[in-house]
Amino acid sequence: MRTIATAATLALLIAVLGLAVPAQAQTTVTVDPAALTLGYMNVFELPVNGGAFVFGSTWGLPDLTAVFSGSNLTLGPNTINDPDPFWYIGGGAPGSPGNKIMEANCYAEDTGTLNGQTVTFNGMVLANSLTSAHTVIAFVKDFAPDYSSFNQNTVVLSATGPFSVSLATINDPGRHVQWGVQMTGVNVWPTDVGPFGTMTLGPQAVPTEATTWGRLKSLFD
């Protein structure tokens, strides 16, 4: 009798918690130095100058600034070691305020594999000392084949602890699915970055359905 009751209770819990096989396949990715290898920088004018888009181009991760140490990723304010007034108000030197807003994207991209799935990107904010001059989001994006448009979901990262963001992607093998993190804020002269702080992210282990089933079953054994 207890076995029958246990099985019925587990079945009810599975239905309530949504552990049945979903209609749309699901993939979970996390902070991973083997995946988050791409960098892209978008540059904008300061809000006081209208905030217009200036240019965007591929950048290396160290130039973003995004640096892996083992499986942990540390993000810092972008620095431009160029004294041109284009980059710094009055010309670059220690103490010079930045003259651009930098949107630094560290991300992974998949084409043709994750389409038509719900993609979840998660991780841990391990430490955060950033000031209000810079913000960080985690994102999942689903681009059209020609990159002319995209759908996205984002989550702002601030407090230490776990984060997660999910997006149901369109079932078209020509689309490009991206996930990663984006830091936005004013550029900072290289010797002045300390007071602006950093953020460190790490991977998050997610229980599989089998693990979750085992934990539920143990409640009734």
Confidence check: pLDDT of 72 > 90: yes
State the Cα–Cα distance between residues 74 and 114, nearest whole angstrom.
27
- Does 213 have pLDDT greater than 70? no
How does pLDDT run across 25-55, given as a tens digit for each residue? 999 999 999 999 999 999 999 999 999 999 9
Q: For the chain, what is the mean pLDDT?
A: 88
The pLDDT value recorded for residue 104 is: 98
Fold of domain 23-206: Jelly Rolls (2.60.120)
- Domain locations in the chain? 23-206
| pLDDT, position 215 | 47
Q: What is the mean pLDDT of residues 57-70?
A: 95
Q: Are 121 and 142 in contact (CB under 8 A)?
A: no
pLDDT tens digits for 81-121? 999 999 999 999 999 999 999 999 999 999 999 999 999 99
pLDDT of residue 144: 98
Q: Which of the four pLDDT bands, split at 50, 70 and 90, describes residue 172? A: very high
The least confident of 18-32, 74-88, 132-146, 187-201 is: 18-32
CA angle 44, 50, 53 (to 5 degrees): 30
Residue 207 has pLDDT above 60, yes or no: no
The model's pLDDT over 177-187, given as tens digits with 9 standing for 90+, comes to: 999 999 999 99
Residue 195's contacts (CB-CB under 8 Å, 6 or more residues apart) are 131
Does pTM surpass 0.85? no
Q: Which of 117, 108, 125, 73 has the alpha carbon at shortest distance from 179?
A: 108
Give percent of the chain with pLDDT exceeding 90: 81
pLDDT surpasses 50 at 220: no
Give residue 24's pLDDT band: very low, low, confident or very high (50, 70, 90): confident
Task: Read off the DSSP letter of residue 50.
Answer: T
